[in-house]
Structure 1
Amino acid sequence: MASDTRLQGARIRSLRKLKGLTLMQLSQRTGLSHGYLSQIERGISQPSVASLVEIAQALGVTMQWLFSDPKEGCQGEDRPHHERLVRKDQRIEIEYQDGIVDQLLTPRSNNNLEVIYSTYPSGTRSEPYSHKGHEAVLVLRGTLEVEVADERYVLEEGDCLSFTSSEPHAHRNLSDGETTVLWFITPASF
């Protein structure tokens, strides 16, 4: 994961410089400290979900832009289908500082819909964040608490919740074991 963290940091630094921003300006746009952003860019720290959303929004990109695409090295028959097909071993994967792992199941080129497979270790919790669009979450295994604005929902296996993504939302695994969910987000913002 360390090389993924360094690659992610390098992509953030590269895009920040391309946009002509200093670390201090990015800090002001995101509300994240200059030192923390520097650590992220150098691959020393992994950002939380909320921090990554802030960085991506401040840089004017979706979160997936900040990560390498396993399909870039794709050969053979899958190459022509990259606009439609994502094989299991070709998913873009993001691991956050708290151990939450997201895998993008839809192609990067799909700007209308994203489907994300997420795993939450026991007790993990995201910070509240918001973004444009709408989303729904379906619990595949475990128990996930989702807070939207000031309302809390406890979702069990098979439960599905939908909401407007511009409302601050956070989630927490209430299970003793791992919880897995599918997120459906429109438009693409991951």
Structure 2
Amino acid sequence: MPETDVADDESSLAALVGGVVRALREQSGLSMRELAKRAGISQPFLSQIERGVSAPSMVTTYRLAGALGVAPGDLLPAPESERVRVVRADEGTLIPVADRPDAAIGRALHLRPNSPLEVIEYRVEPGQHIGEWFESTGVSGLYVVSGELAVEIVGAGRFRLGARDFISFPATMRDRWQLVDDKPAHVLLVIARPA
């Protein structure tokens, strides 16, 4: 796909997400200032998200969803109704881990409104930021396809995972990741919530 098409798709997605965030905020009776405070982001940044100027990172999406009392997938525009969906290697919605230029980029394979399942793929390179503390609802599962990853979970410890290792834990337990020996890693994050 040409780069201009990708850029157009991303700006279109940002505008759609911004519209959903604004509609949910207004339905909740929250001011922009109050939602920004609850989500731990600045009001100007929230304004940029709502206007479609900036797309929220994965961390910001989860913070906004928590502040609005919805699932993260509910902040994405509703897809055409499909019972079977194939996501090819060059498809999926790209979502940065954090709101900073060196953040690793995840590829959402399954992140849909009203779905109890989320699947995000990460190909993390040395120097990319992945160390944000993260928490959600439901159960988190992390599968290392290749490379090594250190996963720190508050109250449980630090776990070193290698290729084909899997870890699962309650998503309410705060966790963060770190590359091992500054080598790349390919990881699948799965979050399941009660239907």
- Give the TM interval when normalised to the shorter protein: 0.7 to 0.9
Q: For 1:160, which of 135, 156, 166 is the aligned residue? A: 166
Give the superposition deviation at 1:105. Answer: 3.5
Q: Tell whether 2:36 aligns with 1:27.
A: yes
Q: For 1:65, which of 53, 56, 74 is the aligned residue? A: 74
List per-residue Cα deviations over 1:123-159 (Å, max 9, x = no partner): 3314112122221111012222222116222222111
Give the superposition deviation at 1:108. Answer: 5.1
**Given the two structures, how large is their TM-score scaled by the length of structure 2?**
0.75
**Given the two structures, how large is their TM-score scaled by the length of structure 1?**
0.77
Mean alpha-carbon deviation: is it higher for 135-144 or for 4-13? 4-13
Q: Percent of aligned positions with the same letter in both sequences?
A: 28
Could you say which structure has the greater relative contact order, defined with CA pairs below 8 angstroms and 6 or more residues apart?
1
Give runs of aligned pairs for residues 74-153 of structure 1, distance below 5 A: 82-83=82-83, 85-89=84-88, 93-96=93-96, 97=99, 98-105=103-110, 110-111=115-116, 113-122=117-126, 123-149=128-154, 151-153=157-159
What secondary structure is seen at the aligned counterpart in 2 of 1:170? Answer: strand
What secondary structure is seen at the aligned counterpart in 2 of 1:115? Answer: strand
CA-atom RMSD in angstroms: 2.8
Which residue in the other structure is 1:14 paired with? 23
Counterparts in 2 of 1:99 and 1:116: CA distance versus 1, 3 Å: closer
Contact 2:121/2:187 (8 A) holds in 1:
yes
What secondary structure is seen at the aligned counterpart in 1 of 2:160? Answer: strand
Give the superposition deviation at 1:110. Answer: 4.0
